[in-house]
């Protein structure tokens, strides 16, 4: 492809991504599948420019508005070349050459971008803080509350490209074997710093066709997501419910920890996601996961009240912790009040499945206190038979008595991970232990529920048709 043709491809892709409705990675995948004649180097160049524009969304918009030109994919692409790439105005103008596969020449009303943005800075001091940090208006105050004096550092880290992490399937391989196999394939990789079953890969090699992936020895999963599953402390013979399983990433990790002994009930309201989970199970050689499609009003989980050793709620959230992985997601509409109400409802329903002495694990890929600490504090106030298990105790129980949570992650009762401090996606984890039978029991003398059989409880779909696994994360979560 000529440089002009690459630019036109970026303009087309960016326009489709801005239309909404589908994640940018899905838009890009469909675009390239329909144009298989585009070579790998061209694909990388086009995709790289697209992701750069998505990460600079607010700042490019600020420069376009300053220039007083129409806000279109064309003017934003020109601004990206001028500011992020540092190209001269004349060189950018030349790319809009009107060639067969290139963009049409810049119109009179577009040309001011060439002079206004030439030599401009992505972090111009005149920009509002929210624009410079690439934050939607609704997120500025919650992010400041979450990070305090670390706001600038954490916001900047959320703009970086996410690494490629792999989880070693403990049923089929050991980490040292996976590292050796990757090295033999010419893939640069190293053990993750926090997860004992994680591998971090340099660059973006295509692993989908690699023998390790095809054999089920590895799964793509962020290191932080691996830690969520590990901290559930799944053990052979347990009964575990993954209440918002999605495509099964954490369910697979839980089942592997159990060595195929016991059961993982993987619940979701999406048949498509569960179908993907089943394919991943087959590839991984896992047969102790039971996918369970839950429909609104479904009563089947109600019969399982109080039977699970562990219940994982990977709750629907704003996805703020995964913004570096999904840069377009930060510009989707978010109703934080609706999300927090849903999270509270999910916690309440999932708690009914936990047996006395069992644990409820609440996790989000959000960095906002409104979705994390606030939700758990409110839950504990309403459920006196549950108590927070200190993070250090939970960590030592999983990783060894001498192991301690990473610096900056342990605030006593919760685990908080962030890209700036830990190199993972942003995650929050709370481990909530239910009192043993006869201790901390509620007024019904059993488990504090006091519900009648006529109540609409524990159906995983919350009786509303809402999606308990729409966490805003990728399938690799």
Catalytic annotation, residues: 365
Question: What CA–CA distance (Å, rounded) separates 346 from 243?
Answer: 9
CA distance 435 to 357: 5
Q: Which run of H or E residues covers position 190?
A: strand 189-191
Non-local CB neighbours of 111 within 8 Å, separated by 6+ positions = 69, 93
Residues 466, 477: Cα–Cα separation, whole Å: 20
Per the CB < 8 A criterion, the answer to whether 87 and 125 are in contact is no
How many other β-carbons are positioned within 10 Å of the β-carbon of residue 152? 13
From the list 89, 381, 353, the residue with the least C-alpha distance to 240 is 353
Maximum Cα interatomic distance, the chain, rounded to a whole number of Å: 79
CA distances from 265 to 125, 268, 335, 343, 451 (A): 52, 10, 30, 20, 23
DSSP code of residue 108: G
* HEC profile of 339-406: HHHHHHHHHHHHHCCEEEEEEEEEEECCCCHHHCHHHHHHHHHHCCCEEECCHHHHHHHHHCCCCCCC
């Amino acid at each position: 492809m000529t440089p002009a043709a690459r630019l036109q491809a970026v303009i087309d892709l960016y326009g489709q991504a801005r239309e909404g409705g589908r994640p940018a990675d899905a838009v890009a995948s469909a675009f390239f599948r329909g144009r298989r004649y585009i070579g790998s180097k061209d694909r990388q160049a086009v995709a790289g420019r697209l992701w750069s524009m998505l990460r600079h969304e607010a700042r490019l918009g600020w420069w376009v508005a300053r220039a007083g030109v129409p806000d279109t994919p064309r003017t934003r692409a020109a601004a990206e070349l001028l500011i992020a790439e540092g190209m001269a105005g004349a060189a950018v103008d030349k790319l809009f050459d009107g060639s067969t596969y290139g963009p049409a020449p810049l119109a009179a009303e577009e040309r001011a971008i060439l002079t206004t943005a030439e030599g401009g800075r992505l972090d111009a001091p005149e920009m509002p803080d929210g624009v410079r940090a690439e934050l939607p208006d609704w997120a500025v105050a919650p992010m400041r509350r979450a990070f305090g004096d670390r706001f600038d550092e954490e916001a900047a880290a959320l703009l970086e490209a996410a690494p490629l992490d792999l989880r070693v399937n403990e049923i089929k391989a050991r980490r040292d074997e996976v590292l050796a196999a990757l090295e033999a394939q010419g893939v640069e990789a190293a053990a993750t710093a926090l997860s004992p079953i994680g591998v971090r890969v340099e660059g973006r090699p295509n692993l989908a066709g690699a023998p390790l992936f095809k054999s089920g020895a590895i799964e793509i999963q962020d290191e932080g997501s691996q830690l969520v599953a590990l901290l559930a402390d799944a053990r052979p013979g347990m009964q575990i419910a993954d209440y918002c399983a999605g495509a099964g990433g954490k369910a697979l990790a839980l089942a592997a920890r159990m060595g195929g002994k016991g059961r993982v009930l993987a619940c979701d309201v999406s048949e498509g996601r569960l179908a993907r989970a089943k394919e991943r199970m087959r590839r991984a050689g896992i047969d102790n996961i039971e996918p369970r499609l839950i429909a609104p009003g479904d009563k089947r989980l109600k019969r399982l009240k109080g039977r699970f050793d562990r219940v994982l709620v990977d709750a629907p959230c704003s996805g703020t912790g995964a913004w570096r992985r999904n840069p377009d997601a930060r510009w989707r509409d978010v109703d934080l009040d609706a999300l927090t109400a849903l999270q509270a409802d999910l916690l309440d329903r999932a708690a009914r499945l936990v047996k006395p002495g069992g644990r409820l694990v609440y996790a989000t890929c959000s960095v906002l206190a409104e979705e994390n600490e606030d939700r758990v504090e409110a839950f504990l106030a309403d459920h006196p038979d549950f108590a927070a298990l200190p993070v250090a105790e939970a960590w030592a129980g999983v990783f060894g008595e001498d192991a301690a949570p990473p610096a900056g992650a342990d605030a006593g009762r919760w685990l908080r991970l962030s890209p700036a401090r830990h190199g993972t996606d942003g995650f929050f984890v709370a481990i909530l232990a239910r009192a043993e039978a006869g201790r901390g029991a509620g007024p019904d003398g059993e488990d504090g529920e006091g519900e009648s059989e006529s109540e609409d409880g524990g159906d995983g779909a919350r009786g509303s048709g809402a999606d308990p696994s729409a966490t805003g994360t990728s399938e690799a979560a």
